[in-house]
Structure 1
Amino acid sequence: MEVENLKEIFDQFQHLNVYESYKELSSGHINDTYLIITKTRPYFVLQRINHSVFKDVAGLINNKVAISQHIKSKLKESKKQVLDFVKSNDDNSYYKDIKGNYWSLMYYIDNSVTYETVNDIEIAYEGGKLFGEFLNLTSDFDTSQLTEVIPKFHNMSFRYSQFQSALQSAAKERLFKATETINMVTELKEEMHILQNLKESGDIKLRVTHNDTKISNALFTKDNKGLCVIDTDTVMPGIVHYDFGDAIRTICNSAAEDEANLDLVNFNFDFYKAYTRGFLEEIQSSLTDLEIKYLPLGAKTMTYIMALRFLTDYLNNDIYYKIKYEDHNLVRAKNQLKLIESFSEKIKEIQQEII
């Protein structure tokens, strides 16, 4: 993106600052995000939303703004931060340029840091508090007001149907290589549909969910205190287990999710305890006993759904996820299934943490 274009786009929003320079921010793999440095504070974050990935960008941005305004109205006197959006010159939540690109502008949150991975218990605990607080503060938001930006994102029946279709069309060599992994996925099918069945029956209620609760989507102060949840592109109606489960999946794996040496893949119970403690401190009062009971299954289910998606992509000849070598997606699927195995070995202790 040329500097002149960024300045021009920045000036399509209602701010009183003078553009000085920019810095590209590398967090996130889908959108283009820039720190806009101005002559005076505050600075801003300008983001181009990838409309080839997200089909209803206007709906997506409106989701983000509505949720931020809702949280802001709850915090008021708190020192906690919240994403704060700047309106365009024509009073929209976004600006659409002549090429059809959608842009949003946020105030930059000063003195904040992010982490790509969790390396100590304090970050796990504070991360749990942040995402628990996000879910608690939005628990009374009317989910019918939200656009479903990625339909069927965590729908297990849909993901399993994709897997079955891939089985039918997969090359024999790939089917052979993946035989053990396919068998493991198939054996877990019934258990992995429990949460969806509870959701569809209405026994577990729909609520606002973030849907991308990796630790890099949380801001911290420089002394490791939770500050703000960010990257709300995937905010949609869901169940609490999606957010809890995906956070645990990403925080508690002792190895990278494409580590091929499965001996290195283990479930970090200490991080689980810390995250769960922080999470429940913030949200327990707005959860039902049934929701709490099934939180551990949320972690297992979200890990499984990623294993299923990696395996499906492998059987489809790697058409979705970027790969670095031929069996990369199969390695990822095995990695996630090993994490489930390690998780299951500690299930009694894991369940004790939510009682």
Structure 2
Amino acid sequence: MNRSPAMDIAAALAFFLPGQTIAAWEPLGRGNINDTWKVTLATGRQLVLQRLYPHVFPDMGAVMANMRLVTAHLGRAAERAPGLGFFQLIAAPDGQDHRIDASGCCWRLLTLLDRTRTLASLTTPAQAEAVGDLLGAFHLLTADLNPDLLADPLPDFHVTPRYLARYDAACRNAAWSGNRQEDLCREMIERLRPIATLLEEARDQLSRRVIHGDPKAANFLFAADGERAVSLIDFDTVKPGLVLHDLGDCLRSCCNPLGEHRADPEATVFDPELFQSLMAGYLRRAAHLLTPADRGLLVAAAGLIGFELGLRFFIDHLEGNRYFKVRRPGENLHRALVQLHLTRSIHSQQGQLERRLAALPA
């Protein structure tokens, strides 16, 4: 018998909160991968329930071990960052902080960071500066956490040449229909192909540390009543990595003021004012964490991560939308084109962006 979503949610809540009365639950956010609900208890307390899928995260144990380690570390370090706060895992009475159901999905319960809001895209320099400051704080607070203590739950994540190889394999197996947008994607990928090895070739000169792995605009929480960024969420991809993986991903997401759902991908632009403000916030907090090589490749890294994400979206489109959630046909193809046009915009402004970066305090 097929179980309804409500039955699965009720079973998960009974595991974590046995005997407690649940007043309501409702979907929370519009994540591309996980399912998330805001849960309200009869007492009025509100929590966050999430479901992760095994086809996305095959090693749920590694994901949860990393999250457990990093959230506990941030909890202890919070006194060094007044005004910031991070969610914590809530364990069942027997101490387990996650539940694997019969279908292999992983359920977990988190504290809710209330009086906060998320932004699908940033539109002001003040917002960008606040995001840069918070990402710098995250890197600073985890700088004394040995990255080798973390597992790598997605070993090829941010290894762009591996995605390019997967793309080539997907192309060999694809049934091409003559779709003009697919052809445009392929043309842009071929032009960008030479940049795929950029960070891998320089890896020995770049800073390696605990990274968030997915610091896109929607994963920063802002105070409900202002432009202050107060927390980072979604720690599924915390892992050992390059600081430029985080900075590149943050920049490509947060400096795209039109967002990722615009009707015309060709209108996508990388905003130099948002770039300068975001980096000013980051450098004020954590400039000493960057090597000269990090700074030298920072602008190029933003373009590379845009290219990488464009590859991932297009691969998923070619393979039947198995990884990223879609709400309409062709959505992953559209997302891919947005990222590829964003990379083109970064490349067209690279000299100007590097001059702006050089002008900021070291």
Which TM class, normalised by the smaller chain length? 0.7 to 0.9
CA 83–339 in structure 1, closer or farther in 2 if over 3 Å, else same? same
Whole-angstrom distance in 2 between the partners of 1:107 and 1:157? 37
8 Å CA contact 2:300–2:350 kept in 1: the answer is no
Counterpart of 1:151?
Answer: 155
Q: Tell me which of 209, 216, 232 is aligned to 1:214.
A: 216
SS in 2 for 1:45: strand
Whole-angstrom distance in 1 between the partners of 2:70 and 2:343? 33
What CA deviation, in whole Å up to 9, does each residue of 1:26-72 have, x standing for no partner?
A: 33132222222124364221222223321111221121121011111
SS in 2 for 1:196: helix
Q: Give the AA of the match of 2:252.
A: R
Deviation at 1:205, TM superposition (A): 3.6
Q: Give the AA of the match of 2:214.
A: D
Aligned-residue Cα RMSD (Å) equals 3.0
Deviation at 1:325, TM superposition (A): 4.5
What CA deviation, in whole Å up to 9, does each residue of 1:80-107 have, x standing for no partner?
A: 2111112222212223456654322211
What CA deviation, in whole Å up to 9, does each residue of 1:114-147 have, x standing for no partner?
A: 1112122222221121222112211222222222
Q: Give the AA of the match of 1:220.
A: F
Aligned positions of 1:186-265 closer than 5 A: 186-199=190-203, 202-222=204-224, 223-257=226-260, 259=262, 261-265=264-268
Give structure 1 stretches of 5+ with no counterpart.
none
Whole-angstrom distance in 2 between the partners of 1:205 and 1:192? 19
Aligned positions of 1:1-355 closer than 5 A: 6=9, 9-13=12-16, 18-40=21-43, 42-76=45-79, 78-97=82-101, 100-171=104-175, 174=178, 181-199=185-203, 202-222=204-224, 223-257=226-260, 259=262, 261-313=264-316, 322=326, 324-325=328-329, 331-355=334-358
Equivalent pairs, count: 352
8 Å CA contact 1:14–1:86 kept in 2: the answer is no
Which has the larger displacement, 220-229 or 175-184? Answer: 175-184
Deviation at 1:350, TM superposition (A): 0.9
Q: Give the AA of the match of 1:209.
A: I
What CA deviation, in whole Å up to 9, does each residue of 1:215-250 have, x standing for no partner?
A: 111111121211110011111221111111112222
Percent of paired sites with the same residue: 25
8 Å CA contact 1:147–1:236 kept in 2: the answer is yes
What CA deviation, in whole Å up to 9, does each residue of 1:3-33 have, x standing for no partner?
A: 6764553343379975332222133132222
Deviation at 1:353, TM superposition (A): 3.0
8 Å CA contact 1:58–1:94 kept in 2: the answer is no
CA 351–6 in structure 1, closer or farther in 2 if over 3 Å, else same? same
TM-score, normalising length: structure 1: 0.86
CA 10–335 in structure 1, closer or farther in 2 if over 3 Å, else same? closer
